[in-house]
Amino acid sequence: MATIFFVAIATALLFIFINTSGKERAQPKKALMPIFSIGCYVFAGYSLYRYFKNAPTITLNKDFIIFNNETFSIGDIEKVELTGKRPFKYAGTYSMEAATLSFKDGVTKYIFDDMYSNSWEIKSFLKQVVVEKKNPSRLT
C-alpha cells in the first residue's frame, strides 16, 4: 500500500512540474518537484524490497525448511517461539506478531503472521515436528 502511495505522489509531482514548467517563470519550489518525485520513486522501490525481504517464500517438509534460497535442516532448529512481537524492518522498525526460529548456527528467522495467509498452518506444522517431535499427519 505504501508503494502505491509513493508512486502516486511521485507521478503527480512530475505531471504538475511538466504541465507548469513552460507556462510561467520557474519558481524555486517548483524546481524541487522532480527531485522529490525521484525520492518518492526510490522510496517506493525500497519499500517493495523490504517487504519481500521480510516475507520470503517458505517451503516446509519433515526434514527441511527453506526460506527463498536458504535451506535449513529441521534438526538444526534450536529454539521455536510460536508467538510474540518481533521487529519488522521496513521504513523504520516496528513490532509485528511473528514466530521465531533460532538455528544452531546463530541464524534467526521470523515468520510474520500478517505476511502469510497460512501462518497458522506453518506454526502448527512446526509445533508438531519440532516442539512435540511427532510425525505430521499431513505435510505441507
The answer to whether residues 36 and 61 belong to one domain is no
Note the pLDDT of residue 25: 62
The answer to whether residues 63 and 120 belong to one domain is yes
The answer to whether residues 98 and 61 belong to one domain is yes
pLDDT digits (tens, 9 = 90+) for 80-93: 999 888 887 766 67
When divided into structural domains, the chain yields a total of 2
Note the pLDDT of residue 22: 66
The answer to whether residues 62 and 118 belong to one domain is yes
Query: In this structure, are residues 130 and 74 in contact, taking their beta carbons and an 8 Å threshold?
Result: yes
Domain extent for 61: 57-131
Note the pLDDT of residue 139: 46
Note the pLDDT of residue 128: 86
Give 96-122 as a DSSP string.
EEEEEEEETTS-EEEEEGGG-TTHHHH
The answer to whether residues 28 and 41 belong to one domain is yes
Query: Which stretches of the chain score pLDDT less than 70?
Result: 1, 22-28, 90-92, 135-140
pTM of the model: 0.67
